[in-house]
Structure 1
């Protein structure tokens, strides 16, 4: 898994998107700041390019995070992708996968609340954990989607094949 360089940010900030922008600069990631409350990070994963979109809702004190794959789902395989997503989501503790048909976007998404009376705002470590979680789950399950879309596998076969732990080196 990728280890992030944390830079030198304060322990917390009112807007966690500012922290994510600082992390992008520290780690030399490409990014676009769309507004005070929205940022997109562009990262190269092991299998594909990923877009990490962060949205801060100050009114709800919530940071929403979406990791989009550079992957288009063929219409004939959408039913199998939906089934794959359901089976994958049963295995997840944090976040979930979705398919947005209107945008033809396959993504991993989760959110965090920052309205805790003791801890308050979202810390830099929290933002790092969100990014690492999304990256890790996206990398872990990307092969499942590939096997279903292009390898002719059923969702069950694809998950079984993707979850095999290889031992040793070739």
Structure 2
């Protein structure tokens, strides 16, 4: 199903529809949670990601979350908050969070889709939204693992995980 601009402007679930098409085009399993939410799954290099988008029509905001399979135990949370702070300083789009109630790590960002009374998510915007989240999760997953499992400090973990290699092995 492809929405033309007129249909998209009239349909309050159009941003979710576009993401559903994007997920289907990539062969990723997805499930709608009504007109305002969709959940998909993507197997990354390091882990399985849950990708979740929530559309708030009244605000014209599409919130996109990528949840790597990472849970942070209570005794590691202080180090993880420091790690997240150092990482977020480097990001242009979105940010990492740690949900205190569950210890769940996630990447989140939002897109304001209010364009002259229309709330349309273009294919390019959908791709940027999804790929930015996945790229940042993949890039920083080793950092989180070094802090959680190798007992490295946040600075050590970032230095170890983000070294730039030169040449070929």
| TM-score (norm: length of structure 2) | 0.90
Offset of 1:124 from its aligned partner? 1.5
Partner of 1:142: 141
SS of 1:35's partner is: coil
Offset of 1:158 from its aligned partner? 0.6
Partner of 1:105: 104
Structure 2 residue runs without a partner (length 5+) = none
Alignment pair present for 1:53 and 2:52? yes
Partner of 2:79: 80
Does the 8 Å CA contact 1:64/1:111 hold for their aligned counterparts? yes
SS of 2:92's partner is: coil
| In structure 2, distance between residues paired with 1:109 and 1:93 | 12
| In structure 1, distance between residues paired with 2:117 and 2:168 | 48
SS of 2:164's partner is: coil
Structure 1 residue runs without a partner (length 5+) = 1-6
| Higher normalized helix content (fraction of residues) | 2
Q: Which runs of 4+ in 1 moved over 3 A?
A: 7-12
Partner of 1:3: none
**In structure 2, do the counterparts of structure 1 residues 127 and 11 end up closer, same or farther at CA, with 3 Å as the change threshold?**
farther
SS of 1:93's partner is: coil
| In structure 1, distance between residues paired with 2:142 and 2:5 | 36
**In structure 2, do the counterparts of structure 1 residues 169 and 118 end up closer, same or farther at CA, with 3 Å as the change threshold?**
farther
Does the 8 Å CA contact 2:15/2:119 hold for their aligned counterparts? no
Does the 8 Å CA contact 1:72/1:105 hold for their aligned counterparts? yes
Offset of 1:161 from its aligned partner? 1.1
| TM-score (norm: length of structure 1) | 0.89
Offset of 1:77 from its aligned partner? 0.8
Offset of 1:10 from its aligned partner? 4.4
Partner of 1:42: 41
**In structure 2, do the counterparts of structure 1 residues 10 and 103 end up closer, same or farther at CA, with 3 Å as the change threshold?**
farther
CA RMSD of aligned residues (A): 1.9
Offset of 1:75 from its aligned partner? 1.6
Q: Give the length in aligned residue pairs.
A: 164
